Chains A and B, each alone.
Chain A
Amino acid sequence: MLEKALTGSRRYGILVGILLALFGMGVYFYLRQLEYGLGLTGMSRDVSWGLYISQFTFLVGIAASAVMVVLPYYLHDYKAFGRITILGEFLAIAAVIMCVTFIFVNLGQPSRVLYVMFYPSLTSVLFWDMVVVSVYLVLNVITGWTVLSSVKEGVPPPAWVKPFIYLSIPWAISIHTVTAFIYAGMPGRSFWLTAIMAPRFLAAAFASGPALLILLCFVLRRFGGFDAGKKAIDALATIVTYAFLTTIFFVVVELWTVFYSQVPDDMEHYRFLFVGLDGYNTIAHGMTVAVIAAAAALVLLINPRTRKKDSLLAAACVLVFLSLWIEKGLGLMVTGFTPSPLGHLTRYTPTGPEAAIAIGIWAMGFLIITVLYKIFLSVREAAELD
C-alpha cells in the first residue's frame, strides 16, 4: 500500500515538498545543536526543560486521544466512527513518532539513547514512559495497517487483530498517565506535585486530539474527497466539548486548592503562570491568550447551534487546540521550573534554532499524517471502484 504515497495530485506534491523543506530546516539546526550542545537552546540550569519536552508532553496527549474513536467503535459498536478509526490511529502514529523525536533532541548525549534499554532502571518513570510509548506505537501500526489492508481487500479485519485493538484502549490511557507521572512524582516541584495531573492530562488530551481530528476531517472533505459523515463529526464535537469542560473544571479545582489553602510556594507558581512575577510575565501573556481562546471556544461548543455549524466548529477546534497547546505546552513546563527551588527567576525564551528544530519535528509529523492519510484515501477510492 505504501506505493500509493508516491503518486498524487500536484497539490499533494506541493504539500509534501513544503513539509520536507521544513523538516530539512529542522535537521540542519539539529546538526548545529549536535555540534555546539544544548547551549544553542534557551534552556538553562534553572529551566532545564523547555520547548522540546513541552511538545513531547502535549503530543503524547494527541497520541492517546485515538482511543476516543477506537473505544466507541470497537467497544460500543458506534458505527459512525467506522470510517475514521483508522484516521485516529494514523494520527496517533504520527504523534508518537513526534514524541520520540522531541525526547531525542532534548538529550545532551543523543548517541547514548539506547542506554535506556541497555541499563534499564525500573524506578525511573522516564524508562517506563519509553516502554509504554514504543509499545503504543507498535500497537497502532499493527491495528491501523491491518485494518486498512482489509479495507483494500474488501474483507472484514482478521480476528487476530482484535486483541491488539482492545489492548490499545487501556494502553492509550497508560501512555498519558505515565507521562503525567514524570511530573507528578517530583518532591521539590510543587506546581507539578498534584495527584490530578494524570486526569488533567487525559482530559486535555481528549479535547485537543479529537479537535485536531475534526480539523483534519474537514481538510480531507475539502481536498481529499472523503466525508467522515455528519454523525461522526457531531459525536467528535460532543467529545471535545465534554473533555474541554472537564479540563477547565480540573484547572479550577487546582486553583481552588492552591488559593484557598494559601500555601505560599504553591501560590507563587500559579501567580507566575497567570499574572507573572517581578515583571517576568511572558508566560502570563501566553496564558491570557489561552484563557480568552478557551472562553471563546466554550461559547461556540456549548451552544448546539454554533457547534453544529461546520465553520464555527472548525473555529472552536482551532481555539481549543491553541489554548491547550499554550497551557499544557510551555505553561506547564516553564512554570514548574519558575521560580527555581532556590527562589530565583530565570527567564526562558526559546531560541531561533530551538524553534526551528521544533517546527522541523512538527513538519515531520504532518508529513507522516499527510502520507498515511493519502494512502488511506487512495486505498478507499480503489476499494470503492471495485
Chain B
Amino acid sequence: MAPTRREFLIIAGISAIGAACPPLSRIIAKETPSRGTHLPGAPGSAPALTAKRWAMVVDASKCSSDCKDCMTACHEAHNVPAIANPNHEVKWIWPERFENVFRAESHAHIQETVRKQIIPVLCNHCDNPPCVRVCPTGATFRRADGIVMMDSHRCIGCKICLAACPFGARSINFVNPRPFIRKLKADFPTRTKGVIEKCNFCEERLARGILPACVLACEEKALVFGDVEDPNSKVRQILDKKFSIRRRAELGTKPQVYYIL
C-alpha cells in the first residue's frame, strides 16, 4: 500500500532530522580522529613523542663496514621478511656505497674513506613526496608531522609509488612475506602479498614514547632522530654544527634524512 500524504510527510520529516544529525559514532567518540593527529599511547606507556616535523640525521662516518645493527633492529621490529632473492627483497633500511647514494656527487678522486663508506639508506619522508602524489587510492599519505605512511589495507599494489620514488625506498611483497619472517613480533602487523611497504619512522614506537628502533640500536649514535623545526632538538644541534647533505635534493622532494659524511 502506498503511504498517504500524512505518512509520507512524517517519514520525510524524521529522515531530514536524521540526516542533519552528526553520525552516532562521532557523538560517542566526542571527536573526529583524522590523519595527522596522534593517537594517545597505550595505557601505562610513556606519553607519545610528538614533533612539528620529524627528521633524521645519519652520520655515516661513524658507521663501520660490517655493522648492520640498525638494519637488523628495524627489520626485526617490523616483521620485515628476509627474502634471499634480490628481485623480491623487502628493505626498510639497508647499506649502500657513496657512489650509489650520492651518484651526482661521486667522482674519481673522492677520498678513500668516503668511497668505501657504508651508508644506511631509508625512506626520506620527503616534505613533498612524489609517492603520495601518484598514489591512486591514498594508501600512502603524509602526516602533519611529516611521516610518510603506508596503509597496507588500502594499497592495491599498482607499484606506481615504486616508480615515483627517486630513492628506491619502497618494496612490494612479490610473494607472501610471512614464511620469510625470522622472528615474529606480535606487537607489529605482518603484511600480505601484493602490497607495498617501507620505513615508517617507527610511528608505532613514537606513539608509545619510544625512539625509532634503528636509532636505539646504534651503539655509535650515528643515527639521530628529532624535530627539525625545534631549534633545541638534537637533530638541529648537529645540523647547526656540521655540514650535511641530502639525497638528490635537486629534485625538490625535500628529503628529511640528512647525511653527514
Task: Give A contacts to B, CB under 8 Å.
Answer: 36-39, 42-46, 48-49, 103, 106-110, 112-113, 115-116, 118-121, 123-127, 130, 182, 185-189, 265, 336-337, 340-344, 346
Contact = CB atoms under 8 A, between A and B. Distances in A.
A121 B137 contact: yes
Contact of B172 (A45, A112, A119): A45
A115 B195 CA distance: 14
A43 B86 CA distance: 11
B209 interface: no
Nearest to A108: B157
A48 B162 CA distance: 7
Contacts of A36: 175
A37 B136 contact: no
Contacts of B164: 186-188
B199 to A, nearest CB: 15
B92 to A, nearest CB: 12
A321 to B, nearest CB: 26
Instruction: Bin the interface of chain B by size.
Output: 35 or more
A39 B158 contact: no
A342 B176 CA distance: 26
A118 B154 CA distance: 10
B135 A342 contact: no
Given A37-B173, A44-B87, A49-B159, A343 B135 contact: no
Contact of A187 (B86, B100, B130, B132): B130
Given A44-B88, A337-B163, A341-B168, A188 B175 contact: no
B100 A107 contact: no
Contact of A126 (B101, B134, B196, B252): B134
B42 interface: no
The 7 closest A-B pairs by CB, nearest first: A108-B157, A188-B166, A108-B194, A44-B87, A39-B174, A37-B193, A39-B175
Given A188-B167, A189-B166, 17 more contacts: A37-B174, A44-B87, A44-B174, A103-B158, A108-B172, A108-B173, A109-B195, A110-B156, A112-B157, A121-B136, A124-B136, A186-B130, A188-B166, A265-B104, A341-B248, A342-B101, A342-B103
A112 B166 CA distance: 26
B135 A121 contact: yes
A124 B156 contact: no
Contacts of B137: 112, 115-116, 118-119, 121, 124
B129 to A, nearest CB: 10
A337 B162 CA distance: 10
Contacts of B176: 37
A188 B158 contact: no
